[in-house]
Amino acid sequence: MPLPVPDNEESMAVCRRFCGPCPSFKPNKLNEYEPHALFCARGKSQKPMSEIENKGCSCFGCDLFPKYQLEKGYFCMPDKI
């Protein structure tokens, strides 16, 4: 079972390194919608799922992924997988 990811600056610093350059993040302008990033802790993007294009996910390389036993990835767009 996944463990809860803390919503704090330390997690954000890691997330920036992976969600930031993720092929889906910038093209979909996910930074312009709540919760901006750290989707594994904060939940999916508030951008309408119909307007998000799945171009891949970099969560699988993120240090928090194994640390918190995360599963599936695509936390910003769970409806798209």
**Which residue among 3, 13, 14, 71 contacts ligand SF4 (CB under 6 A)?**
14
Tokens standing for residue 50: 């119909």
49 binds ligand SF4 (CB under 6 A): no
Instruction: Please identify, using beta-carbon distances, which residue of 75 and 79 lies nearer to ligand SF4.
Output: 75
CB 67 within 8 A of CB 45: no
44 binds ligand SF4 (CB under 6 A): no
Tokens standing for residue 16: 């920036």
52 binds ligand SF4 (CB under 6 A): no
**Which residue among 33, 36, 69, 76 contacts ligand SF4 (CB under 6 A)?**
76
Q: What is the dihedral of CA 34, 78, 15, 25, to 10 degrees?
A: -70
